[in-house]
Amino acid sequence: MSDSPVIKTMRVVPVAGYDSMLLNIGGAHNCYFTRILVILTDSAGRTGVGESPCHASTLALLARFRPQIEGSELLRQNATIATLFASDARHQQTAHTDNIHIPQMNPEKFYNAAAAIEAALLDLLGQHLNLPVAELLASGKQRDRVPVLGYLFYIADRNLTSMNYQAGHAGGDAWLQLRHEKAMDADGVVRLAEAAADRYGFRDFKLKGGVHHADVEVETVNALLTRFPQARVTVDPNASWSLDEAIYYGKQLAGRIPYLEDPCGAEQGYSGRETLAEFKRATGIPVATNMIANDWRQLQHALQLNAIDIPLADPHFWTMRNAHTVAQLCHEWGLTTGCHSNNHFDVSLAMVAHLGAAAPGDRLTAFDTHWIWQDGQQLTLHAPQIRDGYLELPEGPGLGITLNMARVEAAHELYNSLPDKNRNDALGMQFLIDNWSFDAKRPALLR
């Protein structure tokens, strides 16, 4: 197309930020988290950006894709993305396995790379057409704000480590202080929820489980429900409960929670899709997942078994267009749209805002976001805002954000200073438990 802008440059910028000692089945979050920015410039002088999880494999893929992106026509971006998929047959394998937080082979990383490129291309296209990205996804913009939940974690005592975890801001906003402090029981998590609700107005909360014995985690959920009787509260054990445990504790929570996320997984020769189907039949509790329906083949089998109700289609693992297609299927087939999250910067926050704004229908559960743990580390001039429990769609065309290049370069320098750049949640955990190692079927503190 002679009138199409052409992609002139593609810059891949790995960046790092600070995190709290958040516990999960994979261990303890490192004091640093890493991401990748893909920054595209076109012949019209515009800049587009996308964000993805960071791994050496993803960086290698992006370097390999650069010659296919530079020189491509912006208005032919669908063909460009299709060329990336056609160039690497490995994307057809399973994209996301049950062994979370353990580095996988390139299929998952392929989607991470493709998602960041696609988001940057959509950002440029929206600017070219003077439309928000939400209008470019098939359903078009449906809403101006997206419900998001308060994502709560047990937090270990950073003072037991020699790692560079940050301290809170005493005397200021309670959330900005408490998110760095020890919170290992129900009372501590409730204090976190109170501070997060005060700052962000959350009406929904999710507790990251897979840390304590299920008794403790159910007690924490009950404490949250007592403190916030009108709130929607759930827990994500990351499939660390057995099917029998999931049914037992699910029956205790039935009627009080809106859904459970991945309460159980593969065991005794049965897949996670089969055990979740049995869990649903035994308890009647809707199931959300980011573990057993993360590509089209997995989703097909999960739906055939009636194993899930809420596919958490993360645009970083599906791409924005594919995640939106999942949202369309949810709307047409009576399922509920949701979105998974990892630690992220505000470029990803904008990507999620546009995905949610374009999701059709009114069957949306509050989207996951880790942003509250990184709030204050913005890489854009004006980060999307969370108010009254909703993530507001940025104003302006494209993703509606502009990079703060001074902050981007500082985050890049921090990344370059790290001795280990890939995620390793076992490192911090080994300060708490000698020789700790990951076990997908055992909560992190049960060793």
Q: In what order do the strands lie in the sheet with 390-392?
A: 145-147, 390-392, 386-387
In angstroms, the CA 245 to CA 263 distance is 9
Q: In what order do the strands lie in the sheet with 232-236?
A: 150-152, 204-208, 232-236
- The pair of structure tokens assigned to 245 is 């445990």
- CA 279, 324, 16, 196 dihedral sign is negative
- Helical axes 56-69 vs 106-129, angle rounded to 10°: 40
Active-site annotation holder among 29, 109, 208, 316: 208
Q: In what order do the strands lie in the sheet with 47-53?
A: 7-18, 32-42, 47-53
In angstroms, the CA 421 to CA 432 distance is 22
Number of Cβ atoms within 10 Å of the Cβ of 266: 20
In angstroms, the CA 107 to CA 91 distance is 4
In angstroms, the CA 65 to CA 40 distance is 13
In angstroms, the CA 192 to CA 151 distance is 10
* Backbone angles phi and psi of 400, in degrees to 5: 75, 20
Q: Is 344 a catalytic residue?
A: no
- The pair of structure tokens assigned to 134 is 């939400």
Q: List the beta strands (DSSP E) in 184-273.
A: 204-208, 232-236, 260-261
In angstroms, the CA 86 to CA 441 distance is 36
Number of Cβ atoms within 10 Å of the Cβ of 210: 27
Beta-bridge mates of residue 172: none
Which one-letter DSSP state was computed for residue 403?
B
Beta-bridge mates of residue 205: 150, 233
Asked if 250 and 283 count as a contact pair (C-beta separation under 8 A), the reply is yes
Residue 290 annotated as binding? Answer: yes
Active-site annotation holder among 180, 331, 340, 354: 340
- CA 385, 180, 187, 442 dihedral sign is positive
Which one-letter DSSP state was computed for residue 241?
B
Q: Is 340 a catalytic residue?
A: yes
- The pair of structure tokens assigned to 34 is 């890493």
Q: Are strands 310-311 and 150-152 parallel, antiparallel or unpaired?
A: unpaired
Binding site, by residue number, is 236, 267, 290
Residue positions annotated with a catalytic role: 208, 340
Binding site for Mg(2+), by residue number, is 236, 267, 290
